[in-house]
């Protein structure tokens, strides 16, 4: 199950995977830090899109790595507030959940499940806990204010993930296949 030697590690992370992961990390940082609407307890944007692409193409572990590294680098290079490792944990879990639901099989129920778990459990419940701890504010009032973000992002993410999936499938069909 786990790689036993260096050649097995190389099979896990090909050069193509690493290049794609790097590009997706850069895209996530730009979308998250510069092209999203942010107030102290809410953030609305499209930073989930590169993570979804990683999840669809690379699977849960690599999507988790993409989102974790992007969150950490974004927080260090372009801080919005104080760095808090809980948000990085949520980012890792978000990538992993997207990968679990979307890798190799993307159906509407799986897309809705991925968005539901990420928005309702990881974003609404867990990130609200981190905000409550970080800013020393009561949990329930913060969660109530974050319901707006969740209500907006659930349908947006479901639609955009479905479109992203369809686009990836169309691009893969047009790409010439390698001969063995």
Residue spans of the domains in the chain: they are 6-174
CA distance 75 to 71: 6
Q: Please, how many CA atoms are within 13 Å of residue 3, restricted to the half-sphere of its CB? A: 9
CA distance 95 to 63: 5
CATH 1.10.3720.10 is the classification of domain 6-174? no
* pLDDT tens for each residue of 51-72: 999 999 999 999 999 999 999 9
Whether residue 100 has pLDDT greater than 60 = yes
Question: Which pLDDT belongs to residue 8?
Answer: 62
* pLDDT tens for each residue of 79-99: 887 899 999 999 999 999 999
Alpha helices in 13-84 (DSSP H): 15-33, 48-58, 60-77
Confidence label for 180 from pLDDT (cuts 50, 70 and 90): very low
* pLDDT tens for each residue of 124-159: 999 999 999 999 999 999 999 999 889 988 999 999
pLDDT, the chain, mean: 89
Do residues 57 and 20 lie in contact, with contact meaning Cβ atoms separated by under 8 Å?
A: yes
Inter-axis angle of helices 85-102 and 48-58, to 10 degrees? 50
């Amino acid at each position: 199950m786990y790689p036993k030697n260096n050649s097995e590690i190389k099979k896990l992370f090909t050069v193509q995977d690493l290049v794609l992961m790097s590009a997706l990390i850069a895209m996530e940082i730009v979308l998250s830090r510069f092209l999203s609407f942010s107030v102290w307890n809410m953030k609305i944007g499209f930073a989930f899109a590169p993570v979804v692409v990683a999840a669809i193409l690379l699977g849960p572990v690599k999507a988790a790595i993409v989102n974790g590294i992007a969150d950490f680098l974004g927080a260090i290079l372009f801080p919005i507030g104080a760095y808090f490792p809980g948000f990085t944990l949520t980012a890792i879990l978000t990538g992993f959940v997207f990968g679990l639901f979307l890798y190799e099989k993307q159906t509407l129920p799986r897309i809705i499940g991925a968005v539901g778990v990420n928005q309702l459990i990881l974003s609404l419940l867990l990130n609200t806990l981190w905000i409550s701890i970080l800013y020393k504010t009561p949990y329930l009032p913060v969660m109530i204010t974050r319901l707006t973000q969740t209500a907006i992002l659930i349908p947006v993410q479901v639609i955009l993930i479905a479109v992203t999936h369809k686009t990836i499938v169309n691009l893969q069909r047009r790409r010439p296949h390698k001969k063995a």
